[in-house]
Every structure is written in structure tokens, then in C-alpha cells.
Structure 1
């Protein structure tokens, strides 16, 4: 198996370094194409009409090729599929392990998830992996869990889509037995805009936000994370709201 690793925390982040170690022992070939530095909340943004540069980095593992790109997570996947790996495309994309959850509506903004989403464009299955708070031991356990998910769900073409994996920050065992497959919900943030003043005294603001996990609907990703479960949510790339197409057509053509 050939695995492509990427992330939005940067090529030197702990999460991807631990994934590198674990997947190097698991797969025949691993390629890392990841941003030079932090690109969180990049969503599905791409760099156009601007030069992108890359740098080959050394890996301590003989079957790993590592490349840093000064672009977004989606830039990295596109570069891998269209430039670096055209003669040896990956069988699977793993994005992460992200430092922090990607739950509910976070999926819309997440660079981690968007990089995995790009896999479906190229008909390559993908896993976006996130850990509530980065911790060496739990991150290593999460990386091993990812390989177990690959064996259970991906190998042999059993599931050709995207899995969004979230692991609780502290509580709960990191095992397949503790995994629940649930839908995403809306992730609520409070105090989203923080008003500030810059060094010159000019008014400015930052987009921040405190996560509110107290009121999530039952049987959703946020609710189960709060209960100490590991959540897996299958995602899709196409966003057509098929259930309401007939309603919209009737409103346009019949006025009702």
C-alpha cells in the first residue's frame, strides 16, 4: 500500500510525525506532502496565480519521501496527485493527526478535512484524523487506530469514501470497540469576535471563539465525544441537497 500523508498543522507538527512513524512500519510506501507551517481553517482554499515552492526533506525511514510546500492543505494534495506522484499514485490519503477536534460544522472550515475531501476528487479514499488535545501517548494510540480502521474499512476497496475521525482529548480508550459511527451536528462557538487594538491604537478584531459542547443533540459527533467515545463520520464531496430539488423547481416554475 502507498499512503499519502498531509495536514494543516505543518510538515513538522507532532501529529504528522507520529503518523509518519506508524505508517512507515505499516505500508510499503509513504509520501508526505504537507504545508511548510500552520494552515488551520484553510478550508478548501487553493493558491492560484501565484508560484508555489517545495523542499524535499529527509526522513529517518527508508520508505518515506517527505516534501514541504508553501501552500494550503488542498494545494499539497493537488501537487501530490498532479505533480509529485503521477507515476505512483497513492492508495489512500490520511490527513492529520490534527491538534484539536474537527467536529460538526468545523468540517466546513477545516483544512484537515478539506485535504481528505480532495481525495474523492481523485477517487482515492481518505481519512481525516483529529485529536482533541495533542498528547504524545494518545496521538500514538490514534495513529495505530487509523491503521486498524484502514484494515477494517478501506483495504480491498470496501469503502471508497471519506472518514472523519475524532478522538477525545483525555477520556475514553482508543480502540475500535470505542468507535461510534454518527452524523455531524452544528458545532457552537461563543465569543467568536474579539475586538482589539493594534500597536498604533487602531481598532481591529480577531475571529476566535470558545467551543460550547454542552447542548449537542444526542447521537451526534459532538455529543459522543463529550461522553468519551471516538467518533467516525462518513462524509461526501458532492453537496447537492437532493431532497429539496423538487421543492425548489416547483417554486421557480409554479410559484408554490
Structure 2
């Protein structure tokens, strides 16, 4: 397959090097276009008021891998690759392997997920891979899983406009409990801003805080099940499906299908009862 790979950890990150080299060794044609430095938590940001530069990189990856380092965001990288650097669209866009998890509501901030989502926006099947540790340097099990998954997708294509967000626990192979399909969970943070003074006496703030995973997911479940009801889906099945946050604690590889359509079915159903149009016309 013809694969485009990006990330948000930068061109020299071990995760993307392991993924690209593993897939190239498996016979895939691999092109890497990723930021020239770390661009984590940039979300789906685009560069509109500055030029975007791309420099071809040698000696970082296996010789068969074509690679560019881009001055922009992860989303910029995929846009640039599809619009200028590649002569033909890839069969699939991959992002990662990220150093650290992208679980629950992390996906709203994640440059890793956003790079993959850019592929979906362009109608290309896409997958985001994350290793759920900031300290582990062993990306090979995650890369091996990516290789086997891509082989399977080649035989059974993804549903149209679907992104797979995959998190791999940072444990030895024999400790992985299995692979499980999950729904997006809730992962919130207790934010704190540390106030500091720079050497010139100017005040600045440093974002810190702790993740809060054990939060009430009732609102998420209600919204999700309302969407299923609206489309004739099985709400009970949805309720019984584990979230990515829950499953990763038990050392499962989590596979969560995402989409870029953020319409809130619950809100749409509720607002229809307002009869806004008739109220506006009467006013």
C-alpha cells in the first residue's frame, strides 16, 4: 500500500521512525511528512499567516522511505503532502506512533489525531496510533500491531469517513489483554497555572495540572445513546461497550472509531422542540 505518515512529536521522534521503518520493511511504500519539531496539543490548527516550509530529510529513516520535515502543524503536514508533495493520493494516512496516550476527550486537543483526521476530511482512510506512556521507548509492539491491522484493512476496508483512534498499552506483549473495540470516554484535567517571573522581571504562566479519569460519563452516554436512537441504533449495546479510558486500564489495545461530524444529536433533538422558526416568524 501507499502510506502517508505524520505525527505531532516531530521528525526525529522514535515513534514515527519505528512505524515508518516497520511498514517499509513489510513492503509498503512509505512517505513521511511531519513537523520539524514537537507540535503536541496543537489540535487541528492550520498555518494561515506565515509561509510553510518543507525540507527533504535523509538518513533518519530507512533508505526506501521518503521524508520531509515541515515547519507547520500536524494538519499542515498532511494538507501539504496531499496538495503539493505527493504525486498521487495515498491509500491510507497514518499518524504516530505518539509518545503518550490520546484517550477520551484528549482527541480534541491532539495533533496526532488531527493529522489523521485531515486524511479523513480528504476522503482517505486514516488511523492514529498512540503508545500510552511518556517514558517507554519500546514502540515496536505498537508498530507490529499497526502492520497487522493495515494488512487486515487491506482485505476489509474501513467504513467511509471513519478514523480509527488506537491506543496501545506500554506493557510487554504477554501482558496485553487483547484488542477491543471501544467508544470515546471522558478524560478531564484539573488545570493549574504556575505563575513565574522571567529573568527580566516579567510575569508568565506555565500550564500544569493532573488528569482526572474517574469522572461521571453519564452525560456522554446520554448524548451518544440519543444519537443512536435518532439513527435507529441499539442504545443498550452502546451502553455496554467499554470506553477507551476504561479498557486501557486493563491493558487492552483500544480501537475507537471517530468522525469529524460533531453534530450533537441530543441537542438537535432538544432544539427541535423549541419551534424556533415559528417563534421567529411570530416575533
Q: TM-score, normalised by structure 1?
A: 0.90
Alignment of 1:79-158 (within 5 A): 79-85=80-86, 87-133=87-133, 134-137=135-138, 139-158=139-158
Give the alignment partner of residue 230 of structure 1, picking from 249, 253, 265. 253
Which whole-Å CA distance do the structure 2 matches of 1:80 and 1:192 have between them?
Answer: 37
Q: Which runs of 5+ in 2 are unaligned?
A: 218-240
Q: Identify the residue that residue 36 of structure 2 maps to in structure 1.
A: 36
Alignment of 1:174-189 (within 5 A): 178-189=178-189
How far did 1:117 drift? 0.4
Alignment of 1:170-249 (within 5 A): 170=171, 173=174, 178-215=178-215, 219-249=242-272
Conserved 8 A contact 1:189-1:212:
yes
SS of 1:208 mapped into structure 2: strand
Conserved 8 A contact 1:3-1:27:
no
Conserved 8 A contact 1:172-1:228:
no
Q: Deviations over 1:142-190 (max 9, x none)?
A: 0010111112235453444210011123367476x71111111121222
Q: Deviations over 1:44-68 (max 9, x none)?
A: 0000131111111114534311000
Q: Identify the residue that residue 71 of structure 1 maps to in structure 2.
A: 72
Q: Identify the residue that residue 2 of structure 1 maps to in structure 2.
A: 2
Q: Deviations over 1:27-54 (max 9, x none)?
A: 4310000000000001000001311111
How far did 1:250 drift? 3.2
Which whole-Å CA distance do the structure 1 matches of 2:245 and 2:71 have between them?
Answer: 33
Q: TM-score, normalised by structure 2?
A: 0.82
Which whole-Å CA distance do the structure 1 matches of 2:115 and 2:158 have between them?
Answer: 21
Structure 1 residue 253 corresponds to structure 2 residue 269: no
Bigger CA radius of gyration: 2
How far did 1:227 drift? 1.7
SS of 2:104 mapped into structure 1: coil
Which whole-Å CA distance do the structure 2 matches of 1:240 and 1:210 have between them?
Answer: 29
Conserved 8 A contact 2:4-2:92:
yes
Superposition RMSD on alpha carbons, in Å?
2.2
Q: Which runs of 5+ in 1 are unaligned?
A: none
